[in-house]
Amino acid sequence: MKEKRNFLKELNEQQKSAVLNIDGPTLVVAGAGSGKTKVLTSKLAYIVEQKKAWPNQILCVTFTNKAAKEMRDRVAKMLSNKTSSLSWLGTFHAISVKFLRRHAEAIGLKSNFTILDTDDQKKLIRNISKAENIDAKKISPQFILALIDQWKNKGLLPEEVKLSKKHIFENQILKVYKIYQAKIRDLNSCDFGDLILYCVKLFEKNPDIKKIYSNNFKYILVDEYQDTNFIQNKWLQLIVNENQNICCVGDDDQSIYSWRGAEIKNFLGFDKVYSSCKIFRLEQNYRSTKNILDAASFLISHNKDRLGKKLWSDGKKGELVKLNCYKNGKEEARGVGDIIEENIKKKNSLNDVAILVRAIYQTREFEERFLKIGVSYRIIGGTKFYERAEVKDAICYLRIINQKFDDLAFERIINTPRRGLGESTIKHLHDFSSKNKICLEDSAHKLLQLNQFKPKIRSVIKHLLGLIGKWRSDLKKKKHYDLLKIVLDESGYSAMLKNKKDLENENRIENLKELLRAMHNYDNLQGFLEHVALATSIDQEWEDEKVNIMTMHAAKGLEFDTVFLPGWEEGLFPHQKSLEEKGDFALEEERRLAYVGITRAKKNAHISFATQRVWHGEWMDSLPSRFVNELPEEGVEKNEEPAKDVSDDFDFNQDNLLEDNEEYRSPGWARLKKKLLK
C-alpha cells in the first residue's frame, strides 16, 4: 500500500496557517512566487482528508482549464484516488454550464442548448447590422460584441441597460443587443457572456434552486480572485453558504486586467463584504533572488490602493538588477542580443530567457536582431511581426506597386478592405488570366475594356486600378515610407481600422506605425521588400530552444531565469493612452504590470530604456519611465550612458549567406550558416 504523503509538512508557517483555517471567509494575499496554488490545493486536500466535506461538496473555481487540470493533478498526488469525485472543480464558465444544463427551463432554454463561438456571434451581429442599416465600416461587429460583453459582465440584460453616452453609438448598439439576445434565445443558444449572467439571474429569481447549491457546497475555493469581474463576484456571493466558508486566493499587486473587466475592488473590499473574514499573507517567495524581490517590492510600494505585503526570500541576494540606457531602439535590441549571446556561451538554455514588452509592436526590432544573429525565438500569445495580417496586407499593397506580376499580392489586396467583390469576380479574373497567360492586374484591365463586369463591380475595379497606377507614379516622386501612408489612406485601410474602436484594432494601428518606422531603415522600396522576404524565409525552426517574446500581460503566471524588460519610457510604459483615459487608476495598474514583469525573473532581470525613438517618421527624445525613478538605489546596477552607435555585424543579404569564405561575424552566425547549409 502506497504511503500517504504528509503535505502539511511541505508548507511554511504562513502557508500552513492559511490551509488550516477552513471555517468562515478567508482571503489569502499571495505574493508572486509564494506558492498560492500549493496553498489552494493543500486546503482542498485537507478538507477532504479531515472529512469536513465530501469531494463533490467542494466548489473550486479557476480562470483557465490549464489551472483546473494542474490543481486536479496536484490534489491527486496528495489524496491518491479521491480526485475523481471533484466534480465541481473547473472554470467559472464550465461550472456555469453544469448549472444551466440542470435548470435550463427556468431561464427559458432547453437543456440541449448550444454555446455560440466567436465566429457564430460575429456572423449573427453582421446580419443584424445589415438588416438595421448599420454601416459595418463605422461600427464593426467586434466593437458591438465588445460592448455587449461589457454589459453582460456588469450583469445587464438589454432591458436593464441605461445609456451612459460614453460611446457615441451606444443607442444603436443597444438596439442590436436586444435583437441579438432575442435571436440567440430563439436558436436555443447562448454565448460565453450569457453562461455566468444566466446563472446569476437563475439564482436571483429562484431562491429554492440557489438554496440547493449553497447548502451543497460546504466550501468554496477561488483562484486568482483579483481577476474577477462584477458578474463573477456576484455569482460567488449568491451561492456561498450561510457559514460563508469561502476562501479566495490572489494578489492585488498582480491585478492587471481591468481592460478585460476585472475589478480590483472585489479583492480590496473582500473584508467589507465578509466582515468576519481572516486575511493571510504569503510573503515568502520561492522564485526570485533577494535583489529582484527588493526591486519589485520597492516599486509597487508607490501604489496606494493595495492591501500591502513585502516579499522576501531566504535564498541568495543574486545578481544586481540591471538598468541599461541605450541610444535608440535598435541599440536596445543589439544590447539584449549581446547578453543573450553571452548566455549561449555559458550553455544556458534559450527557453529560460524572456523578453517582456508593454505593447506587441515592440517585438519587431528584437525579431529582426535575432534573425540577423541567428538566435531562435518564439512569440507567445501572438504572431510574428511580418506575419501579422495588417502588416502582410500593407506589404502586399507595396508589392503590387513594385511590380504588377505579383498575383498573390494582387489577390490579397483586391478586396481588402472590403469592396464588395465576391468569389465569382475573383474566379472570373483567375480564369481569364489562366486562359490568356497574363497576370491578374492585366486581366482586370482587359476585362474592363471588354466590359465584362457588372456596373458596380466595374466601378470598384476601375477605381482600384486607377489608385495602383497613381501610387506607382507617386513612388517616383516620394519616399517609400511616405507612399505607404498615402496607400493606407487612399485605399480605405486606415479608415477601416480607425472606425473599429477596440483594443485589437488599436494594436493593428500600432503595428502599422511600427512598419513605417521599419521602412525608414531602407533606402528604397525594393530594398525593404527584399528584407521582408528574407526575414520571413529565413525565420524558420532553427532549433528546439527559443527565446520567448511576449507582452507583460501574457507573462502573468510564468517564470524564467532571465527576463528583459525593454522600453521603460514615458508614454510607452506607463502607456500614455491608458493614463489619459483612466488617470491615477491606470497609473497604479501600469505599476502593477511592472511588478508582474520584474517578478517573472528568477535569477536575472534587465530593465532598459532608450534616449530616442522614431515617432511618425521623426526622431524624438524619450524620457525614462517614472518607474525607473521608483526603483531602489541598492540592488540595482545603473548603466545610464548610452551605447555608442557601431556599424552592424553584417548586412543581411541572402546572396552572401552561403559563401564558404564568408567572414565569421557573431556566435549566432555559425549556427545560422550551419542550419542553412543542411
Is 407 catalytic? The answer is no
Q: Which position among 26, 41, 254, 599 bears the catalytic label?
A: 254
| Residue closest to 249 by CA, chosen among 224, 267, 272 | 224
Q: Are 485 and 524 in contact (CB under 8 A)?
A: no
Q: Which helix (H) or strand (E) holds 250?
A: strand 246-250
One-letter amino acid at 39 equals V
Burial 235-255 (b: 16+ CB within 10 A, else e): bbebbbbeebbbbbbbbbbbb
Q: Which helix (H) or strand (E) holds 637?
A: strand 636-639
Active-site position among 14, 15, 91, 224: 224
Strand 618-621 relative to strand 612-615: parallel, antiparallel, unpaired?
A: antiparallel
User: Distance between CA 141 and CA 145 in Å, rounded?
Assistant: 6
Residue 39 CB partners (closer than 8 Å, separation 6+): 11, 15, 18, 19, 28, 30, 249, 282
The Cβ of residue 37 has, within 10 Å, a number of other Cβ atoms equal to 18
Distance CA 600, CA 287 (A): 8
What's 382's DSSP letter?
Answer: S
- Secondary structure in 3-state letters for 333-376: HHHHHHHHHHHHHCCCCHHHEEEEECCHHHHHHHHHHHHHHCCC
- The answer to whether the CB of 572 falls within 8 A of the CB of 360 is no
User: CA 118, 119, 123, 124 torsion: positive or negative?
Assistant: negative
502 as an active site residue: the answer is: no
- Helix (H) or strand (E) holding 551, with range, is strand 547-551
Catalytic annotation, pick one of 14, 15, 26, 36: 36
219 φ, ψ (degrees, to nearest 5): -140, 140
C-alpha cell at 383: 504572431
- Alpha carbon distance 254, 33 (integer Å): 12
Are 360 and 676 in contact by the 8 Å Cβ rule? The answer is: no
Total length of the chain: 678
The verdict on whether omega for the bond into residue 417 sits within 30 degrees of 0, i.e. cis, is yes
Nearest to 409 by CA among 353, 452, 471, 453: 471
Task: With H, G, I as helix, E, B as strand and everything else as coil, classify residue 556.
Answer: coil
- Write out 574-589 in H/E/C secondary structure: CEHHHHHHHHHHHHHH
Residue 36 designated active-site: yes
Among residues 14, 15, 26, 37, the one annotated as catalytic is 37
Neighbouring C-beta atoms of residue 524, cutoff 10 Å: 13
Catalytic residue among 191, 194, 223, 227: 223
Q: Is 154 helix (H, G, I), strand (E, B) or coil?
A: coil
Residue 415 half-sphere exposure toward CB, CA atoms < 13 A: 11
82 is catalytic: no
By annotation, the residues acting in catalysis are: 36-37, 223-224, 254, 600
